[in-house]
A and B are shown apart, each in its own frame.
Chain A
Amino acid sequence: MSHSTQTNKGGMSPLMVVGGIFLLLGLWLTFQRFYGGLGAVTNLDDNNPWGIWIGFDLLCGVALAAGGYTTSAACYIFGMKRFHGAVRPAILTAFLGYALVVFALHYDVGRPWRLPYPIFVSPGTTSLLFEVGLCVFLYLTVLFIEYSPVALEWLGQKRLRNAVHKLTLVLTIFGVVLSTLHQSSLGALFLIAPSKLHPLWYSSYLPLFFFVSSMFAGMSMVIFEGTISHKNFHDKMDEDHLSASENVVLGFAKASCVVMCGYLALKLFGLAMDDNWHYLGTGWGAWFLFELLGFVALPALLYGIGAREKNVKLIRWTAALSVLGIVLNRFNISLVAFNYHLPASERYFPSWQEIGISIFVVTVGVFAFRFIVTRMPIFYEHPDYKESHH
C-alpha cells in the first residue's frame, strides 16, 4: 500500500480530461444561470417548478447519501464493529452528497446569499420545506464534524482530533434522528399534491416509503462506491480495510434484502389501502410494476442469492441496479408521474443545460472524493491512531 499523495504520475487520464471538460462546461452554464435567470437555462414553468435539479440532485442525492447514517448506526449503535472499515468512506460520501445537495440547491433557488434566511431570519415553522431545510443544515454540520477527524489526522492536529473523536456516538445518534426526519419529510412534500401525482405513486405512506427506501439506497451506495473505490484506489487501502470489505458487502447485502422485502410489502399495503389495483392494468401500471419488480423485487432476490452463495460479484452488480432503482423511483415521483394528467405539450423534459449542471455537480463530487481519498486516511488507518479506532 502506498500513502503517497502523488497520483497519476504519468499525467492526466482520459477520464480526468472528460471530467475537466464537464467542469468547464458547468462553469459556463453556472454563469448563464446566474446571469440570465432560470428561464435562460431551464424548461421549468408554472406547472413544473421542480425539475431534475430537485428530482436528481436533491432527492437522489439525499437518498444515496443515506449510507452515512446506516453504516455509522450499524457500527456504533448496533455494535457491528466488522463494518468499521466502511464507516469513513460512507461518511465521506454522505458529507459530499449533502454538501452537493446544498450546492445544487443554489441553482434552483438563486440568490445564494439568502440561503441562511429560512433558518435564521424568517423560519416558516409550519412548512415541511422548513423541516427539510433545518434537518439538512443540521445534518450537514453533523457530517462535517463526523468527517473532520480525517482531515485533522491529515493536518496533524492530534488534540483537536481526539476531542472530536469523543463525540462519535452522540453525533451518530443525532445523525440517525435527523435522517429519519428529513428522509421521510422529502416524501411528505408530495402529500400536498394528491391530484398531481399519479395514484400509483401517491400514498399517505409516502414519507415511510422515502425513509425505508433510503436505508437500502444508502447501503447499496456504500457497496457501489466501495466497488468503484476498489478499482481506482486499491493502492490506498490497508490490509484491514481490504479484508473487511467482503464482510461489509455480504452484511449489507443481507440487510438490503430484508429492508427491500419490507419496502415491497409496504408498497403493496399502500396499493391495498387506497384500492389502486385496477390501475395496474394500465400503461402507468406497467411502468409502476417495471419499477417495483425490476428495481426492488429483483435486486432483493439477487441480494438474497448473492448473500447466501457469498457471491460478491453478483452483489456488486445488484448494488448498481439498486442505485439505478432509487434514481428511477425519485424521478417517477418528482417528474414522470407528476402532472401525469397534463397534455404531452405541457409535460416537463429537462433542457440540456439542466442536465449539464447536474453532470457538473456530480463531477465536482467525484473530483472532491478523489482529492480527499488520495490524501487523507479514508481507506487506511492513520498509523498514529490505530488503537483508538477499535
Chain B
Amino acid sequence: MYYTLHDFMLHSKGVTYILMGAVLVGMVIVWTFLFDRSDEDRDRFNIQHGKHED
C-alpha cells in the first residue's frame, strides 16, 4: 500500500532501475549467444585461408 505519490514512485522506479541493470547484463549475454559462433566461423575461415586479422 502506498500512501503518497513519493512512496509509489520510489518503489516503481526502484524496481525499474534494478530491471534495467539486469537487462543490460542480459543483452550482453544475448549478444554473445547470437554472435560468438559467427566470430568462431570467421576465425576458422581465416585460419583455413591463411588470413590474419589486422
**Does chain A have a CB within 8 A of B27?**
yes
Q: Give the distance in Å from the alpha carbon of A132 to the alpha carbon of B42 in the complex.
A: 45
Q: Is the CB of B8 within 8 A of A261?
A: no
Q: Give the distance in Å from the alpha carbon of A265 to the alpha carbon of B31 in the complex.
A: 15
CB distance from A275 to the nearest CB of B (A): 5
Q: Is the CB of A268 within 8 A of B8?
A: no
Q: Is the CB of B37 within 8 A of A304?
A: no
Chain B residues with CB under 8 Å of A304's CB are 30, 33-34
Q: Which of A265, A268, A273, A308 is B33 in contact with, Cβ under 8 Å? A: A308
Q: Which of B19, B30, B37 is A258 in contact with, Cβ under 8 Å? A: B30
Categorize the interface residue count of chain B: 10 to 19
Q: Give the distance in Å from the alpha carbon of A307 to the alpha carbon of B35 in the complex.
A: 9
**Does chain A have a CB within 8 A of B5?**
no
From residue 246 to 265 of chain A, which have CB atoms closer than 8 A to chain B?
A: 254, 257-258, 261-262, 265
Q: Is the CB of B34 within 8 A of A307?
A: yes
Interface string of B24-38 (1 = CB under 8 A from A): 001100110111010
Q: Nearest residue in A to B17 (C-beta to C-beta)?
A: A272
Q: Is the CB of B13 within 8 A of A273?
A: yes
Q: Give the distance in Å from the alpha carbon of A304 to the alpha carbon of B20 in the complex.
A: 21
Chain A residues with CB under 8 Å of B20's CB are 269
From residue 1 to 31 of chain B, which have CB atoms closer than 8 A to chain A?
A: 8, 11-13, 15-16, 19-20, 23, 26-27, 30-31
CB distance from A203 to the nearest CB of B (A): 12
Q: Is the CB of A258 within 8 A of B12?
A: no
Q: Is the CB of B34 within 8 A of A258?
A: yes
A257 in contact with B34 given A272-B12, A273-B13, A275-B11 (CB within 8 Å)? yes
**Does chain B have a CB within 8 A of A235?**
no
CB distance from A166 to the nearest CB of B (A): 35
A274 in contact with B37 given A261-B27, A304-B30 (CB within 8 Å)? no
Interface string of A296-340 (1 = CB under 8 A from B): 000000001001100000000000000000000000000000000
Q: Nearest residue in A to B16 (C-beta to C-beta)?
A: A272
Q: Return 16 A-B CB contacts under 8 Å, by A number.
A: A254-B35, A257-B34, A258-B27, A258-B30, A261-B26, A261-B30, A268-B23, A272-B16, A273-B12, A273-B13, A274-B12, A275-B15, A304-B30, A304-B33, A308-B33, A308-B34
User: Which A positions have Cβ atoms within 8 angstroms of B?
Assistant: 254, 257-258, 261-262, 265, 268-269, 272-275, 304, 307-308
